[in-house]
Protein backbone atom coordinates (compact mmCIF):
# COMPACT_ATOMS: atom_id res chain seq x y z
CA UNK A 1 0.00 0.00 0.00
CA UNK A 2 1.50 3.31 -1.09
CA UNK A 3 1.30 6.33 1.18
CA UNK A 4 0.42 9.37 -0.95
CA UNK A 5 0.91 13.01 0.03
CA UNK A 6 -0.42 15.82 -2.19
CA UNK A 7 0.02 19.51 -1.33
CA UNK A 8 -0.63 22.83 -3.05
CA UNK A 9 1.59 25.38 -1.33
CA UNK A 10 1.78 29.17 -1.23
CA UNK A 11 5.27 29.24 0.27
CA UNK A 12 8.59 27.72 -0.77
CA UNK A 13 9.00 24.03 -1.47
CA UNK A 14 11.17 22.32 1.14
CA UNK A 15 13.00 19.80 -1.05
CA UNK A 16 14.58 18.11 1.97
CA UNK A 17 11.19 17.58 3.57
CA UNK A 18 9.77 16.21 0.31
CA UNK A 19 12.61 13.70 0.03
CA UNK A 20 12.32 12.85 3.74
CA UNK A 21 8.60 12.16 3.26
CA UNK A 22 9.41 9.14 1.06
CA UNK A 23 12.24 7.83 3.24
CA UNK A 24 11.83 4.25 4.33
CA UNK A 25 14.45 1.69 5.34
CA UNK A 26 12.75 -0.92 3.11
CA UNK A 27 13.25 1.29 0.06
CA UNK A 28 16.58 1.05 -1.71
CA UNK A 29 15.42 3.66 -4.23
CA UNK A 30 14.34 7.11 -3.09
CA UNK A 31 14.09 9.72 -5.83
CA UNK A 32 13.32 13.43 -5.87
CA UNK A 33 12.52 15.59 -8.90
CA UNK A 34 12.39 19.40 -8.69
CA UNK A 35 10.81 21.42 -11.47
CA UNK A 36 12.21 24.95 -11.34
CA UNK A 37 10.98 28.03 -13.12
CA UNK A 38 13.18 28.90 -16.12
CA UNK A 39 14.60 32.34 -16.55
CA UNK A 40 14.31 32.23 -20.32
CA UNK A 41 11.45 31.33 -22.67
CA UNK A 42 12.87 31.35 -26.18
CA UNK A 43 14.74 34.65 -26.25
CA UNK A 44 12.58 36.35 -23.60
CA UNK A 45 13.67 36.83 -20.01
CA UNK A 46 11.16 35.85 -17.34
CA UNK A 47 11.33 37.57 -13.95
CA UNK A 48 8.61 35.67 -12.16
CA UNK A 49 5.73 33.30 -12.66
CA UNK A 50 2.32 33.24 -11.05
CA UNK A 51 0.55 29.90 -10.65
CA UNK A 52 -3.21 29.61 -10.35
CA UNK A 53 -5.25 26.46 -9.74
CA UNK A 54 -8.81 25.25 -9.62
CA UNK A 55 -7.73 23.99 -6.25
CA UNK A 56 -10.35 21.41 -5.31
CA UNK A 57 -10.14 19.77 -8.73
CA UNK A 58 -6.34 20.05 -8.91
CA UNK A 59 -5.98 18.21 -5.60
CA UNK A 60 -8.44 15.53 -6.71
CA UNK A 61 -6.81 15.01 -10.13
CA UNK A 62 -3.36 14.82 -8.51
CA UNK A 63 -4.68 12.21 -6.07
CA UNK A 64 -6.06 10.16 -8.97
CA UNK A 65 -2.81 10.38 -10.92
CA UNK A 66 -0.82 9.38 -7.84
CA UNK A 67 -3.18 6.48 -7.13
CA UNK A 68 -2.83 5.30 -10.73
CA UNK A 69 0.98 5.44 -10.43
CA UNK A 70 0.81 3.52 -7.15
CA UNK A 71 -1.35 0.84 -8.79
CA UNK A 72 1.01 0.56 -11.76
CA UNK A 73 4.35 0.50 -9.91
CA UNK A 74 5.26 -0.95 -6.48
CA UNK A 75 5.78 2.40 -4.75
CA UNK A 76 5.84 2.69 -0.95
CA UNK A 77 5.66 6.49 -0.72
CA UNK A 78 4.71 9.14 -3.27
CA UNK A 79 4.71 12.89 -2.59
CA UNK A 80 3.72 15.77 -4.87
CA UNK A 81 4.06 19.42 -3.81
CA UNK A 82 3.11 22.22 -6.23
CA UNK A 83 3.49 25.94 -5.66
CA UNK A 84 0.68 28.43 -6.20
CA UNK A 85 0.95 32.21 -6.36
CA UNK A 86 4.12 34.08 -7.22
CA UNK A 87 7.30 32.06 -7.84
CA UNK A 88 10.55 33.87 -8.70
CA UNK A 89 12.62 32.60 -11.64
CA UNK A 90 14.94 29.80 -10.55
CA UNK A 91 12.78 28.57 -7.66
CA UNK A 92 11.15 25.16 -7.48
CA UNK A 93 7.52 25.21 -8.59
CA UNK A 94 6.94 21.47 -8.29
CA UNK A 95 8.53 18.64 -6.33
CA UNK A 96 7.78 14.97 -6.82
CA UNK A 97 9.37 12.17 -4.81
CA UNK A 98 8.82 8.43 -4.70
CA UNK A 99 10.37 5.41 -3.05
CA UNK A 100 10.43 1.69 -3.75
CA UNK A 101 12.63 -1.27 -2.83
CA UNK A 102 14.29 -1.11 -6.27
CA UNK A 103 15.12 1.72 -8.67
CA UNK A 104 13.22 0.81 -11.84
CA UNK A 105 9.73 1.60 -10.49
CA UNK A 106 10.59 5.10 -9.25
CA UNK A 107 12.62 5.88 -12.36
CA UNK A 108 9.64 4.95 -14.53
CA UNK A 109 6.90 6.39 -12.32
CA UNK A 110 8.25 9.92 -11.88
CA UNK A 111 8.41 10.92 -15.57
CA UNK A 112 4.97 9.38 -16.14
CA UNK A 113 3.58 11.27 -13.16
CA UNK A 114 5.06 14.58 -14.32
CA UNK A 115 3.72 14.12 -17.86
CA UNK A 116 0.27 13.38 -16.41
CA UNK A 117 0.47 16.40 -14.09
CA UNK A 118 1.40 18.70 -16.96
CA UNK A 119 -1.42 17.49 -19.19
CA UNK A 120 -4.27 16.90 -16.72
CA UNK A 121 -4.04 18.97 -13.54
CA UNK A 122 -5.91 22.30 -13.66
CA UNK A 123 -2.99 24.54 -12.75
CA UNK A 124 -1.86 27.42 -14.97
CA UNK A 125 1.18 29.64 -15.04
CA UNK A 126 1.42 33.26 -16.04
CA UNK A 127 4.84 34.50 -17.08
CA UNK A 128 5.92 38.03 -16.32
CA UNK A 129 8.71 39.24 -18.57
CA UNK A 130 11.46 41.76 -17.93
CA UNK A 131 9.55 44.47 -19.80
CA UNK A 132 6.65 44.04 -17.34
CA UNK A 133 4.32 42.31 -19.83
CA UNK A 134 2.50 39.16 -18.72
CA UNK A 135 1.13 36.13 -20.53
CA UNK A 136 -0.94 33.14 -19.40
CA UNK A 137 0.49 29.94 -20.82
CA UNK A 138 -2.16 27.78 -22.48
CA UNK A 139 -0.33 25.17 -24.53
The percent of the chain in helix, strand and coil, each rounded to the nearest 5, is 30, 40, 30
Q: Which stretch binds other proteins (CB under 8 A): 9-17, 18-26, 40-48, 130-138?
A: 130-138
Q: Is 34 in the site for other proteins (CB under 8 A)?
A: no
Q: Assess contact for 108 and 73: CB atoms under 8 A.
A: yes
For residue 80, what is the DSSP state? E
Tell me how far the alpha carbon of residue 66 is from its chain's centroid. Answer: 11
CA angle 15, 69, 22 (to 5 degrees): 30
Please report whether residue 56 would count as binding other proteins according to CB under 8 A.
yes
Phi and psi based region of residue 88 (left: phi greater than 0; alpha: psi -120 to 50; beta: remaining): beta
The only residue of 31, 58, 75, 87 in contact with other proteins, by rule CB under 8 A = 58
Q: Side-chain half-sphere of 7: how many Cα atoms within 13 Å?
A: 19
- The only residue of 3, 14, 24, 60 in contact with other proteins, by rule CB under 8 A: 60
45, 86, 88, 137: which one contacts other proteins (CB under 8 A)? 137
Q: At closest approach, how far in Å is the CB of 10 from other proteins?
A: 15
- Site size toward other proteins, by CB under 8 A: 27
Among 2, 22, 31, 53, contact with other proteins (rule: CB under 8 A): 53
Helix (H) or strand (E) holding 115: helix 103-120
| Interaction pattern, residues 74-113, with other proteins; x per rule: CB under 8 A | --------x----------xx-------------------
Site residues (CB under 8 A) for other proteins? 35, 51-54, 56-58, 60, 82, 93-94, 114, 117-126, 136-139
Amino acid sequence: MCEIQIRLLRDSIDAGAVLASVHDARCGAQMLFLGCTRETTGDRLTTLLTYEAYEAMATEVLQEIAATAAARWPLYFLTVHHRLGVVAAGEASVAVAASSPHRAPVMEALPWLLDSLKSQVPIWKQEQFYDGSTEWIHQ
